[in-house]
Amino acid sequence: MPKSTRKSPIVVRRRASRLEPDTRRAQILACAIRAISRTGAHKSTAATVAREAGVSEATVFKYFPDKRSLTLAVIGELGAHFQSIFNRIESRGDKAIDVLVDYAVAYTAELDREPAYARLLLDQGAALLDPSLRQIIESNVTRMVHRIEKAIRRGIDEGSIPVEVDPEVAAWAYVGFYTVIAQAKVFGRPAEWIFRLQLTLLQGLIGKRVEPARFMPATVQASAKGANR
């Protein structure tokens, strides 16, 4: 039987548009966040990130020499992103109890805006088993704990938080709540429910009622009104 002379179709990769190096790196990093949030850090590869970004694997390796450096960059970017948001809240000079609630509201708002963040935060639990990643995760968590501890100590000085509260232990518990919130987002809990969860956790932590109306975001208010109709 004569061999077929039909040629396989040639697949032409669409060439990525030319970007400045800093812009290209940021684009690849953003795509890595999405890719890793879907598969987890251990299963992600340069190939999956390249497909997400519409570039070659060689381009990914140009900015991130190996998988470890890419994963470290993703974890670092996530930590820096939330630190930047919390810095803006802290700079307003509000009372400590207001700052603590606003941190929680802003955190949930970011998970609403970018659901990949919730999955990435949860994936860090598994990433802790990797010694090469543990240091940067620990650094992110420790910075957050110190920030919260500082606010709690100020709240005690202001009289809005009971003196019986241990600032360091309470700060670790507060940061631990973020994992619960991320789980609730992944499980599809509505914004209004998560907001009530945050207030319940905070009130249990400081032993004092927090008035919700002052903090409830407009999107959450709309959700709550719709649920009560």
Kindly give the confidence (pLDDT) of every residue in the chain, 229 residues in length, as a single tens digit, with 9 standing for 90 and above. 455 555 544 444 455 567 788 888 899 999 998 888 888 777 788 888 999 889 999 999 999 998 888 888 988 888 999 999 999 999 998 999 989 988 988 898 888 888 889 988 888 877 777 787 888 889 999 999 999 999 999 999 999 999 999 999 999 999 999 999 999 999 999 888 888 888 888 888 887 777 665 555 544 444 434 433 4
Question: With 0-12 CB in 10 A as exposed, 13-18 as middle and 19+ as buried, what is 58?
Answer: exposed
Q: Are residues 40 and 102 in the same domain?
A: no
What amino acid is encoded at 134 in this protein?
A: R
How far, in Å, CA of 73 to CA of 44, rounded? 14
Instruction: HSE, CB side, 13 Å, CA atoms: give it for residue 209.
Output: 3
How far, in Å, CA of 179 to CA of 162, rounded? 25
Question: With 0-12 CB in 10 A as exposed, 13-18 as middle and 19+ as buried, what is 116?
Answer: middle
Domain that residue 138 falls in: 67-208
Cα angle at 215 between 33 and 92, to 5 degrees? 75
Q: Are residues 79 and 31 in the same domain?
A: no
Q: Are residues 21 and 130 in the same domain?
A: no
Q: Are residues 55 and 143 in the same domain?
A: no
Q: Are residues 74 and 55 in the same domain?
A: no
92 within 8 A of 154, measured Cβ to Cβ: no
Q: Are residues 73 and 117 in the same domain?
A: yes
Q: What is the dihedral of CA 115, 82, 29, 67, to 10 degrees?
A: -100
